[in-house]
Structure 1
Amino acid sequence: MTPPAENTIAILLVEPNPGDARLFTESFADASIASDVHTVTNGEAALEFVHQRGEYADTLRPDLILLDFQLPGTSGEAVLSELKSEPSLRSIPVIVLTSSDSEEDIARSYDLHANAYLQKPVDPEEFVELVRSFEEFWLTFVRLPGDGDGA
């Protein structure tokens, strides 16, 4: 695997729906965001990725995680709980992306220290707009922890 360029953001997309994963990946490409998007389809793989275990041992830790709450196996809620309970991982921003607009899911996400909760767009054009909003906010204004922190 080629390491990403200096100004490239590593994004872990945890998305079980292949169509939504493709839309997100294509939207990042269309928005010309310097990103390296890695996609996993379940909670177990997400945890393996962030812990850099197994087949993900040689991957870089993500700068940003887009997490669907509705996952097969280990739930998005369990993934978020583990990420935010481990000191070495809690500084990674996690945006919960889900089709649910349940107040209970929203409250639970923030109780578990999600950095944001966004409802997934339905229209493909809305995916592009959502990704552009990531670029404008998360990738332009927000400062993310650098690689020089010894992690």
Structure 2
Amino acid sequence: MNNNEVEILLIEDNPTDAELTIRALKKFNLANNILVIDDGEKALEYIFAEGSYSGRNINKSPKVILLDLKLPKVSGLEILKKVKSDERTKIIPVVVLTSSREESDLIASYKLGVNSFIVKPVDFTSFVSEISKLGYYWLILNKKPS
């Protein structure tokens, strides 16, 4: 896939959760241009067009970032902080999609500028339903500046 065509950047280190998210989005034809990155360091390289993604046009940002909080190398909160504090990336919608039910994670995410915070449902049917609503909202309904 051409890196400039990414609509959804899914930053998730759990392969099962990543696959379930992709399946849920595909079920509703919302996963045409999805990129999955499984660690925080690689995610920052992609977002800021550095390292192995240095050839990517940083101005071609994803329509939405789906972000897990518990990641190897760099945490989801650190990614959120960097994305929302940089003029080049701060308008990218970031949705925390996590299994954490910690109030402190919720508060920290909103203080850092998260657009939405969703706790992953445990059962598959609820998960598919929530992810499809999420994808529909951020890819179809939400209007983002050009």
TM-score (norm 1): 0.86
- Counterpart contact for 2:22–2:31, Cα < 8 Å: no
Aligned residues: 142
Residue 15 (structure 2) pairs with residue 18 (structure 1): yes
Q: Which amino acid aligns with 2:45?
A: E
Residue 29 (structure 2) pairs with residue 63 (structure 1): no
Partner of 2:43: 46
Partner of 1:123: 123
Give the superposition deviation at 1:127: 2.3
Partner of 1:89: 89
Tell me which protein shows more helix as a share of its residues. 2
Secondary structure at the counterpart of residue 138 of structure 1: helix
- Counterpart contact for 1:52–1:61, Cα < 8 Å: no
The CA deviation string for residues 110-131 of structure 1, in whole angstroms up to 9 with x for no partner, is 0000000000121222222112
- Counterpart contact for 1:98–1:118, Cα < 8 Å: yes
RMSD between superposed Cα atoms in Å: 1.7
Q: Which amino acid aligns with 1:90?
A: K
Q: Which amino acid aligns with 1:82?
A: K
Cα distance in 1 between the residues matched to 2:79 and 2:36 = 15
Q: Which amino acid aligns with 1:145?
A: P
Mark the runs of 5 or more structure 1 residues left unpaired by the alignment: 147-151
Point out which structure has higher relative CO (alpha carbons under 8 A, 6+ apart): 2
Percentage identity across paired residues of the two chains: 37
Mark the runs of 5 or more structure 2 residues left unpaired by the alignment: none
- Counterpart contact for 1:11–1:64, Cα < 8 Å: yes
TM-score (norm 2): 0.88
